[in-house]
Structure 1
Amino acid sequence: MTSCLPCPGGFNCEKHHHPKPCGLGKYALNGTKSCEDCPRGHYCPYEANIQPIPCAPGYYANNHGQAECKKCNRGEYCKNPASDPVLCPVGKHCVTSGLTAPQTCPFGTYADTEGNTQCALCPAGNSCIDPSLSPELCKRGSYSPVGEIYCQPCPSGTYSNQTGGTICSICPAGFFCSDPALDPRICTKGSFSSLGSIFCTSCPLGTYSKDSFTERCVFCPAGYACPDPKDDPVPCKPGQYSLGNATSCIPCPAGYKCSSTASVPEICLFGTFSTVGLHTCQLCDRGFYCPQKGSTGQIRNLNLNVCVTCPSETSSLKT
């Protein structure tokens, strides 16, 4: 040979009469006599590598002289191919292998530790406003189903009296729930409430409720009066009556009798009379007469020697 040839790329020409391949993990540029280790972030997969090959995105080579790049595992990502993989940070997840950046947790999920491959669903009864923090229990008066960001306030007429509520319970009948964070409160005597009430309603006139936590008020029965809805019905006295739903008993009117306190007054017949508040009709006294039905009093016969003709359809049994 009249001249020396340049050392071919991928070969070592030091101390050798013939070029020798650099080997896996090494390379040599054209015209260089020695081989170099493949730098970090690159790989040299052949026996005679002319130049290093950069690692593909999601792969890394964190040491010199690598013949291949490693793929980032799930739960980590490869930000710099020349460095070690980075654990997926809190609030993010690395679902698949070979990622170059972490993925933010979707709404309603969280990851409160590093290296997560999957963000966890926010459990029922909790809020997950910040996906990098542990779930926070819902306060009293609020609730949340699975996978919610925020706790929702209980609807009107419902309550949740403990932290971590997953549902709000409907306020039972006979109770009221003005504050959804507190236990239902009992309706007092003389008031009532239906299912899902935020306040108790006073019993209407003519009804009563002698017990607490009542769903409905009871109509005052005939023959009784209910002046105070929280007390028992008061029976009408003789000479009074009520037909039900009454706050007071009505005095029997003059000219009528009230033989029953629970029925309509009956008109006094011929020859009888009554004044206000009597439960029976009275026979006219001797020397008096009651010429019509519903007489409110008796008429004196001024001429005792003259008989007065009985009205039509009447008779006199006395002489």
Structure 2
Amino acid sequence: MGHFCPQGSESPKPCPIGTFLPEPGAFSLSHCRSCPPGQYCLTPGASQPSGYCFKGFFCSGGADRPTPRANLSSVICLLKILELSSMKMEAAVWKHNLSNSGRNANWIKVEMVPQADSDRVVNDSAPHLKSPHYTCSTYRGDICPRGFYCPVGSAYPQPCEAGFYCNQSGLEAPAGSCAAGYFCPTGSVDPNVHPCPAGHFCPLETPLPLPCPLGTVKNYLGGSTVEACQPCPPGHYCNQRGIAAPSGQCAAGYYCPAGQSSERPEQHVCTVGHYCEKVGHLA
């Protein structure tokens, strides 16, 4: 196991690092199996993978060490891994993160290559890249980039979950929670880069802004609790959630104290002996 013997061999030849072979009787180098995604094969002649990829790194297949590193020109290989892993949104986040670092690359043609049976890896296996492009033919993984995190045994970077941020490379888990008054979409690298928009409030760890309730309005950025939403001003109504200005004036024949959500609030019909103009105050 871990070796192959071509015709006329004087002695077994070991499978190279980055591969393993769990069965005896092999006669060709092609019988050596590429180390599975999420694992590494450190020694030649291995019958099983050496272990799982270290935290803060990902091993995309064929890794010969627990902490693989790639050069800048091979970034496109990771983009294709993310795309083939049905993570198009996260790949877009990755491209956005890369644009901030000035990295560029051309797309390559890829194809799916079936992986050999092996012990289950910690994360789902990523597709293996097969390409005549030398950079990608030798791509084995890298340190986890900003905007992502990589637990032990990662086959590809996990996008930072919405509501959290990943502000540096080599993270095992998100660095922390999104700040109160801000929201953090998937792949965020900063806890306070997206202020909560008008008409909404954002508690700690907010993935998406929460709309202010009916009968309220909020015309400024920020705000971490529903108390940031102000009652609809007197004489007006607010019949939608998440608005920055009143929906309109109270209807004639009705009056609208602060906090109304209807143009014609039934409990505020103009009373006997009074009149209510369009502005909606009781006179």
Q: What is the TM-score normalised by the length of structure 1?
A: 0.38
Q: Which has the higher contact order (CA 8 A, sep 6+)?
A: 2
Higher helix share: 2
Higher strand share: 1
